[in-house]
C-alpha cells in the first residue's frame, strides 16, 4: 500500500511523529509530500519543544499567520542569537518609554505622548519614524505605563491621571486616579487595576456608565511598582517597593479586595518588583531590583517559587516577556542588556548588549515570531531574527 492511499489525517498523524531532519528530507521527495510536510499539524510537536514558535504550553498558537515550518526555522536563530540589530528611533532626552505590540502596530510612549507606528516596511514607507499614524496625548507629565484592549488604550501617568482612549475614534476620557504617579496599570475583561507611588492600588471599570469611578482602594503601605490581573480576573498581584515591612508580592481578591496570599518570604529590603506576567491562572513570573526572575506556581506553594534565574551581572531586571512556553526575555538596568532564557536551563541562552553607555536600562520588551523590540532611555531597538547577521571580522 502506498503512503498516499492512507486517509489524509492518518498521514498527518504519522508525519507528526517524525523529527525535524526526517521531515525536511521527506519534503524533498516529491511535490505531494512537500505540500503535506508544509502543514502546521505536522510541525506542532516539534514546535512545542522549541523557543518562540508561537505554540504555547497550553497548545495555543500565537502567530497563526506564518507557516509553522518557517517559525521552526526562525526559532533556530533565536536559540543561536543570530539576528540583526537596528535602531528604529532615537530621541534626545532620557525617557522611561513603554511599549505594546498589536500585530503589525507598535505603540511607544515617549514623555507625555503615545505614538502608534506601522511595523511593516511597505506601509511605513521605509523609515520607522515616518510610519507614525496616530498619537494619544493628554497627560501633563510622562506616561508611566499603558495597556491595550481590543477597544481601548489605557494610560497611566506621572500626573496621577488615567486616560482611557477609544482606539476606533478620537474619544478619550481622563480622570485623576491617584494623588501621586500612577506607576502601573493592567486591564482585562473590562476591569482596570492601577498602582501608585501613593501606596495604594485601585480598581476601576471600563463599563461606560461607571467610567472613572473607583470601585475599591487597597492600601498597600508601600509604593506600588507593578500590577497584574490574573487571566480569570478573580485576583490580582501587586509588586511593591519592599521598603516598608510588607512583603513585595501580594495577591488580592478583586471582588472583596482582601489579601489572599503573599508570595515568597525573606526578601531583602529594597527588593522591589518591577514586572509581573501571568502565564496561566496559577503560574506567574516576576522580576525586579533583586536581580532574579522567579516562577511561581500557586497550586504548588506560595511561600517558595518553583524556579528562579539569576541575572549574572548583578543588575536589576526592569522588564521581561515570554512566549507562553519555554522562552523568557529579560531587560536589565545596565548597558541595555537583553537576555534570552530557556526555562529548562538555569544559565541564560543568549545575551545582547544594545548600548555601550553604562546606565541604560531596558525599560520594556516586546516580541513576535521574528522580531524583538527593546525600549531604552533614548532609543528604540529592534532585533530581527530573520535577517542575515552582519558579517563579523576575523
Ligand atoms: C513581526 O514584526 C515584523 C515587523 O517588524 C512583521 O513584518 C511581522 O509580520 C511580525 N510578525 C508577526 C507574527 O506579527
Ligand atoms: C536565520 O539567520 C540567517 C543569518 O544568520 C538568515 O540568513 C536566515 O534567513 C535566518 N533564517 C530564517 C528562517 O529567517
Of all helices (H) and strands (E), which one includes residue 69? helix 68-80
Domain borders along the chain are 3-77, 79-384
Mutate to test the pocket of ligand 2, among 24, 80, 82, 384 (most ligand atoms within 8 A of CB): 82
- If you compute the radius of gyration of the chain from its CA atoms, what whole number of angstroms results? 22
* Domain pair 3-77 / 79-384, same fold: no
**Would you place residue 122 in the very low, low, confident or very high pLDDT band (cuts 50, 70, 90)?**
low
**Would you place residue 391 in the very low, low, confident or very high pLDDT band (cuts 50, 70, 90)?**
low
pLDDT of residue 269: 85
**Would you place residue 93 in the very low, low, confident or very high pLDDT band (cuts 50, 70, 90)?**
very high
Nearest CA-CA partner of 167 in 84, 91, 100, 216:
100
The predicted model gives 289-317 an average pLDDT of 93
- Taking the C-alpha atoms of residue 286 and residue 103, their distance in angstroms, rounded to an integer, is 25
Nearest CA to ligand 1 atom 5: 119
Digit-coded pLDDT (tens) for 20-75: 899 999 999 999 889 889 999 999 999 999 999 999 999 999 999 999 999 999 99
Q: List beta partners, residue 184.
A: 195
Q: Cβ–Cβ contacts within 10 Å for residue 124, how many?
A: 18
Give the residues surrounding ligand 2 with Cβ less than 6 Å away.
73-74, 77, 82, 386, 388-389
* Phi, psi dihedral angles at 287 (to 5 degrees): -150, 165
Q: What are the residues whose beta carbons fall under 8 Å from the beta carbon of 380, sequence distance 6 or more?
A: 87, 88, 89, 90, 97, 99, 108, 128, 373, 374
Classify domain 79-384 at the CATH topology level: Methylamine Dehydrogenase; Chain H (2.130.10)
Q: List beta partners, residue 117.
A: 106, 132
Nearest ligand to the CA atom of 78: 2
CATH number, domain 3-77, options 1.20.1280, 3.30.530, 1.10.3470, 3.30.1300: 1.20.1280
Nearest ligand to the CA atom of 75: 2
Digit-coded pLDDT (tens) for 185-222: 999 999 999 999 999 999 999 998 998 899 999 999 99
Amino acid at each position: 500500500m502506498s503512503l498516499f492511499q492512507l486517509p489524509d489525517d492518518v498521514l498527518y498523524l504519522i508525519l507528526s511523529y517524525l523529527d525535524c531532519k526526517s521531515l525536511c528530507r521527506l519534503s524533498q521527495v516529491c511535490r505531494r509530500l512537500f505540500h503535506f510536510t508544509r502543514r502546521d499539524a505536522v510541525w506542532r510537536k516539534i514546535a512545542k519543544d522549541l523557543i518562540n514558535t508561537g505554540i504555547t504550553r497550553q497548545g495555543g498558537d500565537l502567530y497563526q499567520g506564518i507557516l509553522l515550518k518557517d517559525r521552526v526555522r526562525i526559532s533556530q536563530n533565536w536559540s543561536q542569537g543570530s539576528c540583526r540589530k537596528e535602531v528604529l528611533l532615537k530621541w534626545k532626552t532620557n525617557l522611561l518609554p513603554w511599549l505594546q505590540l498589536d500585530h503589525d502596530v507598535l505603540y511607544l510612549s515617549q514623555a507625555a505622548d503615545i505614538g502608534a507606528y506601522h511595523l511593516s516596511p511597505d506601509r511605513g514607507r521605509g523609515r520607522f519614524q515616518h510610519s507614525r499614524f496616530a498619537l494619544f496625548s493628554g497627560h501633563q507629565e510622562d506616561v508611566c505605563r499603558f495597556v491595550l484592549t481590543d477597544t481601548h488604550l489605557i494610560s497611566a501617568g506621572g500626573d496621577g491621571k488615567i486616560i482611557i482612549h477609544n482606539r476606533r475614534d478620537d474619544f478619550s476620557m481622563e480622570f485623576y486616579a491617584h494623588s501621586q504617579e500612577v506607576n502601573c496599570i493592567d486591564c482585562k475583561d473590562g476591569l482596570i487595576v492601577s498602582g501608585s507611588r501613593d501606596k495604594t492600588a485601585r480598581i476601576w471599570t471600563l463599563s461606560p456608565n461607571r467610567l472613572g469611578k473607583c470601585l475599591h482602594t487597597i492600601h498597600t503601605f508601600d509604593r506600588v511598582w507593578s500590577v497584574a490581573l490574573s487571566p480569570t480576573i478573580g485576583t490580582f498581584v501587586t509588586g511593591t517597593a519592599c521598603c516598608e515591612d510588607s512583603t513585595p508580592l501580594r495577591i488580592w481578591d478583586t471582588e472583596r479586595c482582601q489579601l489572599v496570599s503573599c508570595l515568597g518570604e525573606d526578601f531583602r529590603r529594597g527588593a522591589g518588583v518591577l514586572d509581573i506576567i501571568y502565564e496561566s491562572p496559577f503560574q506567574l513570573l516576576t522580576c525586579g531590583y533583586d536581580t532574579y526572575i522567579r516562577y511561581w506556581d500557586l497550586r504548588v506553594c506560595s511561600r517558595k517559587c518553583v524556579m528562579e534565574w539569576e541575572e549574572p551581572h548583578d543588575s536589576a531586571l526592569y522588564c521581561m516577556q515570554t512566549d507562553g512556553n519555554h522562552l523568557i526575555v529579560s531587560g536589565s538596568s545596565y548597558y541595555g542588556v537583553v537576555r534570552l532564557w530557556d526555562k529548562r536551563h538555569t544559565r541564560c541562552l543568549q545575551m545582547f548588549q544594545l548600548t555601550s553607555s553604562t546606565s541604560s536600562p531596558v525599560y520594556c520588551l516586546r516580541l513576535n515570531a521574528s522580531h524583538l523590540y527593546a525600549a531604552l532611555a533614548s532609543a528604540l531597538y529592534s532585533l530581527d531574527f530573520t535577517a542575515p547577521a552582519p558579517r563579523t571580522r576575523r
